[in-house]
């Protein structure tokens, strides 16, 4: 095999590989943006809980967890579990508050 054949082979492999690599980079970027948005919204939900806006915190956490569910296929692992953890934390906090309210009344 001469140099020219090797050069052409390398060029063909590179040209064929570029769309595959670009697709993977695009998918990784898309996933990173999704994770950033979901984690931001999860932090917002916890902040709303701290500010005693329980209903809004629950709504935000629920929407964020649903978005995670609907944007991740059943064959993939979740790219982040922060929305689920935030929702669980809010539900636990609300569960702890409700028995106290019933005992006071």
pLDDT per residue as tens digits for the range 14-65: 888 888 988 999 989 998 999 999 999 999 999 999 999 999 999 999 999 9
DSSP state of 76: S
Read off the pLDDT of each residue in 11-15 and give the average, rounded to a whole number. Answer: 84
Tell which residue, 72, 88, 60, 90, has the closest CA to residue 34. Answer: 72
Tell me the two tokens of residue 63.
């929407």
Instruction: Say what the pLDDT of residue 97 is.
Output: 66
Q: To which residue do tokens 């902040």 refer? A: 47
The pTM of the full predicted model, rounded to 2 decimals, is 0.72
The listed range with the strongest mean pLDDT (10-14, 42-46, 95-99) is: 42-46
For residue 102, pLDDT over 70 is answered with no
């Amino acid at each position: 095999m001469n140099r020219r054949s090797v050069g052409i082979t390398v060029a063909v492999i590179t040209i064929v590989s570029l769309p595959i690599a670009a697709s993977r980079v695009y998918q990784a970027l898309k996933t990173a943006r999704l994770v950033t948005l979901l984690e931001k919204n999860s932090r917002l939900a916890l902040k709303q809980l701290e500010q005693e806006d329980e209903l809004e915190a629950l709504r935000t956490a629920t929407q964020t967890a649903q978005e995670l569910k609907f944007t991740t296929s059943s064959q993939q692992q979740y790219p982040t579990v922060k929305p689920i953890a935030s929702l669980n934390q809010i539900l636990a906090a609300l569960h702890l508050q409700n028995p106290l309210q019933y005992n006071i009344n």
